[in-house]
Structure formats: C-alpha cells, structure tokens
Structure 1
C-alpha cells in the first residue's frame, strides 16, 4: 500500500488539508473552524510532489502563479472527471457560469449534474471550481463557503486587472 501524506497549509482564508502520495496530489480541502490544524505525523522528508504543490500555492497566494503544474488525481466518475478537466481550462481571473459549463459539455440539460460534479471537486484552487458562478453573475455554491469563493475571485482579479471588487 502506497503511503499517503497529509499536510496542513495555512492560507489567508484558513487552513487547507493537502493529501498526496509519492506521485500525485489527491486532495486539497479547506478546514472550517480550525485555528490550529490537528497534529500530523511528520515524515523526515515529504515527497517532491508535496513540496511542489506547497511552492505553487505560496506563489498563487502571492499573485505569482496563474496555473498549477503539480500532478494531481482525484477519484470520480467519467462525467465528473470531464467536468473537472473543463474547470482547469478556466483562465486565472476569469469566470464562467454553470450554464456555460453545461454548454461546454455539449448539453444545457446537464447543468445540475455539472454543478453537482463541480461541488464534488476535492482539489480546491488547483481545480478552480471557485471560478464557476451563477448565470446572473452571482456567487452560488462553494464547498469552502461563499466568503472564500468571493475572496479567491477578488484575489485573482486583483492580479489580473488591478485592485477592484467584483461583488
């Protein structure tokens, strides 16, 4: 059985729990209501993939990284993986609606299924589900909380277009 490493990463909007093995990142999820992360068994040396994602997250939060290159993988259905692959294509600082996402998938009738798959994403920020908004340009649905979604979108806008407020 392959080792799974857990790392708690402090961001400006709370802790992320990052899970990775020696080859890929499997999960990046916000921890709610935690001022200090739980104690984790710290290995002598983390795998390169974990060190890489930590550097990339540091660069993202300082506005120096627009795209993530760390290998990642998450379990899901064929449809969920297709949705997640579309999310990765949304450029830094841009948003699309759930309807736009459904259209990209080839059928506007899959809008609810696409939204459900979006909500099952377990690679926060790296698979940028926060970049999907409502058809009326409103903030809707985010597992990390709407306040974090707003923060992430405004953070990206700040480095794309200068300081401004979206919502």
Structure 2
C-alpha cells in the first residue's frame, strides 16, 4: 500500500518524539494502527498533533540492561510515521493510524520534560525511501517483499517460532 503523504526529506524534523514499541514494525508506505494508553505517550500524540503529526517508532532492545534500565536501550534504526487517523475513546485512550514515511538512524537523546523520549535523527542512509513509486519500482519491491518473507519464514522455522505472516501486507 503506497500512501500519498508527499513529504519531502527536507521537511522532516531533525528531532523526533520516539515511541519505543516491541512487536510492531513501521516501514515507509505502510500503515500501522496503534492503541495509545500510557499517559506519557498520550502527551506525545498531543504534541505531535499540535506540530507536524510525526512520531518515530523504534524497537526497544531486550537484554539484561534493558530490564533494569528506566530508559531502555533502543535499536538504532526506526521509522518516522505521520498520524493519518486519530480517535479518542471514552476511557481516554487514543486510537491512531501511523503511515510510514522514512526510516532513520537514532542520534543522541534530547532532554524533554514531557515524560516521553526525544532523539536527534538522521535520514541520510535512507534517502531511497523517497523515490517515486513507478510501476517498475513497485514490481521490484514486490519481488524484494517475497524474498524478505521467504527469509523470515526460514528464520521462524529454524528457530521453532510459531508465527503467521498472513496478516502482514
């Protein structure tokens, strides 16, 4: 699914609010629905909605240091997403849909008083995320997608992990 965000690299901020989330992967041109219920991340969404509607999604590392650390270590690559849909539930949760824009590399953490984490980010390694999606490129991406799914399935089987990729578009 390719979106029509029309966001250019030069319009992306050099710092982003970061949502560390296990088990979720945001990639360019993919939409990800999220249920936001922690107060600090509700503040993050409020702040993002007041600005450019952009949030960075990054996987937290799972290791011994992460289990005892308040600010868990994060993997170095994430994806910036634009809030495309927003709904507040009766119990105060936010249901949002992020649309992936571009991957980034995390830089240094920036101090914030809002409870959530914010980092400097660098998009330069992922400039191809902004390439025009021609029919030829889409066909090439579909082949790469099939190869990726094949490798993921091999990994899952090799490590005896029971998972289904049927729900991933």
TM-score, with length taken from structure 2: 0.29
Hey, which of these two has a bigger chunk of helix by percent? 1
Relative contact order, CA 8 A, sep 6+: which one is greater?
A: 2
User: Which structure has the greater CA radius of gyration?
Assistant: 2
